[in-house]
Amino acid sequence: MRAAAAFVLMSLACCGEGSPASNRKGPSEEEIRRLSTPEVEVVDPQAPVRPQPLKVADLAPMPAPVCAFGRAGKMLLAASARGAIARVNGHLLHLAGAAPVGPSGGFFEDRQVSISVGRVGETSADTGAWPARITITNRRAEAQIEIEGVWRCNGTTENAE
């Protein structure tokens, strides 16, 4: 009985529709294609300079901002006489003022990133807000981005999240 059972099992393993691996001599064309073609990693070349909105908690250690740059109702840069803060590529940056900050704009930098803000149009001085452009440059990553928005110089933080 044992011999018969062993014979049946060997017959099924060798001659029947056994496992696919036992009938193949090597990998399929699909396996070769999949293994020989590495997945392409999509890298955002602007990531080192891409700003994210500031949060109210980000502003806590800073004196009241004198000016702020925003877009679509989100504050991207807050500036005071001592410097500025911005969230770039997920990192909260504390930047030193490299030029006076005021209604015409400002320039801020640290060892890796520089941020320049300048007005690009005229608006009523009564509002304290002007159309502006911010330029963020990451010198080490050799990346730069320019964004249109609004430059406000009235000391409020109402656009922070």
Domain count, the chain: 2
Q: What is the pLDDT of residues 111-143, one digit of tens each?
A: 999 999 999 977 656 678 899 999 999 988 889
Identify whether residues 10 and 84 lie together within a single domain: no
- Same domain? 82 vs 135: yes
Q: Looking at the domain assignment, is residue 118 inside a domain?
A: yes
The pLDDT of residue 23 is above 70? no
Same domain (yes/no): 76, 125 = yes
Q: Is 146 within 8 Å of 137 (Cβ atoms)?
A: no
What's the pLDDT at 159?
46
Residue 159: inside a domain: no
Both 89 and 137 in one domain: the answer is: yes
pLDDT score recorded for residue 14: 52
For residues 19 and 66, membership in a common domain is answered with no
| pLDDT value, residue 88 | 94
Q: Is the pLDDT of residue 4 over 80?
A: no
Of 13-17, 25-29, 73-77, 149-153, which range is least confident? Answer: 13-17
Q: Is residue 91 domain-shared with residue 125, that is, in the same domain?
A: yes
Closest CA to 78 of 99, 53, 49: 53
Distances (CA, A) of 13 to 6, 9, 10, 17, 57: 11, 6, 5, 8, 67
Range of the domain at 7: 2-36
Both 23 and 76 in one domain: the answer is no
- 127 and 57 in one domain? yes
Domain assignment present for residue 158? The answer is: no
Q: Clarify whether residues 31 and 70 are in a common domain.
A: no
Q: What is the tens place of the pLDDT at every residue in 32-60?
A: 777 776 676 667 778 889 999 999 999 88
Query: Which structure tokens are listed for 126?
Result: 């009564």
| The pLDDT of residue 19 is above 60 | no
Q: Is the same domain home to 22 and 53?
A: no
pTM of the full structure: 0.68
